[in-house]
């Protein structure tokens, strides 16, 4: 366990997180020449087209440092504020974070927002000044900004370039020396945190977890504590570029679990996995509930596709836990869903993913926000108004 390091990469949008993740994978020999491509972890078509990270991506690297073998679990996170919930979940599964700052653009809003998220979770912060090879880079000035923000020494700021690979060895050295090894009791009953899940149409739901105490073995009888349902761990393994099947995932490590679950509601991000026979007594603190900022109605073009749309939304919610939806009906459009999003980009991405990944043709209503209305008759009671037609009669 002392040779495991769990860390994530956080930054403002377009500061070079995914490119730097590529160089870390290259340097540790985690990808072959044939597998190499730019922004390797951004494996969704939408991410490649728009040049942004939408999903956080976990991958395990093996690295030998001073004669010792280390396991490095990296989570590359999105930079856009609309996907900040992905970042908060990644941070909960780590002990350290690489804070990437662009040497040409300096510190920006999401840098500070993500930094506060990491500090709230007591993560060890490793500041990295990226893109120092650019002609417009201003490393001295930006280093001073980072020192002011973090209160660290200028020597602790690592200069690097995701494009050329400069400074990657120093980053790996800092991760091993500065990020603490995971804490946990290998002899305690199994306690693991679910930090992500994806839907696989052939194998059911793949659950990504981090083991806090104990270990999880293949064919072990396990229980999800939020739903109180028991399952058989059909397959466990680690998340390399391809999934690698293992017999056991031990304390402090990150892995995936396949139990053959087909119903999306049975898996909750932030839930605790434990042993069915010898369960743990305490739940892990999950993640705070999402607070949507923008609301819009999503309706199927053909009203007969309503149930299919519901199933698609549930599967998408597995992959994007910040999506919130509830059924609603409209006189003009029939039955559909009122969805809550973290922002306009998030709404656009969800609509596009429904069309691409689930072949659903949908109509999206004009986005709005919800209001509380109070009446003179009952001034204490708030009426939630989602639509102008919901306003109480004067």
User: What is 202-255 written as a DSSP string?
Assistant: TTEEEEEEEEEES-EETT-EEEETTTTEEEE--EEEEESSSEEEESEE-TT-EE
Give the tokens for residue 298: 């999503």
Q: What does the longest C-alpha to C-alpha distance in the chain come to? A: 77
The reply to whether domains 191-275 and 294-372 share a CATH topology is no
Other CB atoms within a 10 A radius of the CB of residue 112 amount to 13
Give the tokens for residue 53: 């990270």
Q: What residues contact 89, with CB distance under 8 A and at least 6 apart?
A: 56, 195, 196, 269, 270, 287, 321
Angle at 288 between CA 286 and CA 292, to 5 degrees: 140
How many Å apart are CA 333 and CA 274, to the nearest integer?
A: 44
Res 38: pLDDT: 74
Res 92: pLDDT: 84
Domains of the chain, residue spans: 4-178, 191-275, 294-372
Res 286: pLDDT: 66
Low-confidence spans in the chain with pLDDT less than 70 = 286-288
pLDDT, tens digit (0-9, with 9 covering 90-100), for 275-290:
988 888 887 776 667 7
Q: Answer whether 165's CB lies under 8 Å from 27's CB.
A: yes
Residues in the chain: 394
Res 14: pLDDT: 84
Report the candidate in 42, 35, 101 with the shortest Cα–Cα distance to residue 76.
42
pTM: 0.85
Token pair 């002990």 in the structure block, residue = 95
Q: What is the assigned CATH class of domain 4-178?
A: alpha beta
Q: Answer whether 259's CB lies under 8 Å from 182's CB.
A: no
Candidates 3.40.50.460, 2.40.30.10, 3.20.20.80, 3.40.640.10; CATH matching 191-275: 2.40.30.10
Res 297: pLDDT: 92
How many Å apart are CA 6 and CA 58, to the nearest integer?
A: 10
CATH code of 294-372, in short, is 3.30.70.870
User: What is 138-174 written as a DSSP string?
Assistant: -HHHHHHHHHHHH---GGGSEE--TTT-TTHHHHHHH
The pair phi, psi for residue 135, each rounded to 5°, is: -60, -30
């Amino acid at each position: 366990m002392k040779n495991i390091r769990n860390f994530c990469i956080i930054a403002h949008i377009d500061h070079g997180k995914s490119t730097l993740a590529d160089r870390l994978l290259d340097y540790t020999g985690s990808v072959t020449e044939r597998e190499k491509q730019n922004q390797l972890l951004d494996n969704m078509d939408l991410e490649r087209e728009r040049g942004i990270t939408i999903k956080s991506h976990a991958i395990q690297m093996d690295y030998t440092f001073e004669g010792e073998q280390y396991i490095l679990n990296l989570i590359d996170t999105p930079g856009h504020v609309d996907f900040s919930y992905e970042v908060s979940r990644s941070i909960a599964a780590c002990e350290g974070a690489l804070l990437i700052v662009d040497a040409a653009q300096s510190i920006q809003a999401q840098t500070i927002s993500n930094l506060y998220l990491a500090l709230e979770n007591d993560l060890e912060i490793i500041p990295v000044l990226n893109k120092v090879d650019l002609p417009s880079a201003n490393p001295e000035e930006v280093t001073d900004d980072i020192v002011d923000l973090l209160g660290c020494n200028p020597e602790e700021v690592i200069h690097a370039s995701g494009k050329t690979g400069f400074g990657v060895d120093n980053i790996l050295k800092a991760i091993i020396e500065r990020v603490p090894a995971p804490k946990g009791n290998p002899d305690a009953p199994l306690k693991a945190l679910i930090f992500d899940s994806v839907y696989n149409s052939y194998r059911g739901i793949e659950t990504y977890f981090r083991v806090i105490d104990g270990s999880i073995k293949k064919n072990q009888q396990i229980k999800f504590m939020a739903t109180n349902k028991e399952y058989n761990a059909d397959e466990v393994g680690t998340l390399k570029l391809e999934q690698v099947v293992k017999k056991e995932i031990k304390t402090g490590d990150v892995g995936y679990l396949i139990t053959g679950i087909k119903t999306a509601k049975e898996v909750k991000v932030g839930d605790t996995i434990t042993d069915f026979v010898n369960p743990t007594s305490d739940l892990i603190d999950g993640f705070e509930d999402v607070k949507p900022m923008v609301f819009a109605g999503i309706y199927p073009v053909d009203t007969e596709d309503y149930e299919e749309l519901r199933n698609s939304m549930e599967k998408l919610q597995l992959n994007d836990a910040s999506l919130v939806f509830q059924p609603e009906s409209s006189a003009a459009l029939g039955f559909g869903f009122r969805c809550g999003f973290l922002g306009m980009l998030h709404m656009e991405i969800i609509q596009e993913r429904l069309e691409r990944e689930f072949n659903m043709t949908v109509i999206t209503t004009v986005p709005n926000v919800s209001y509380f209305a109070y009446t003179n008759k009952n001034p204490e009671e708030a009426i939630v108004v989602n639509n102008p037609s919901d306003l109480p009669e004067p």
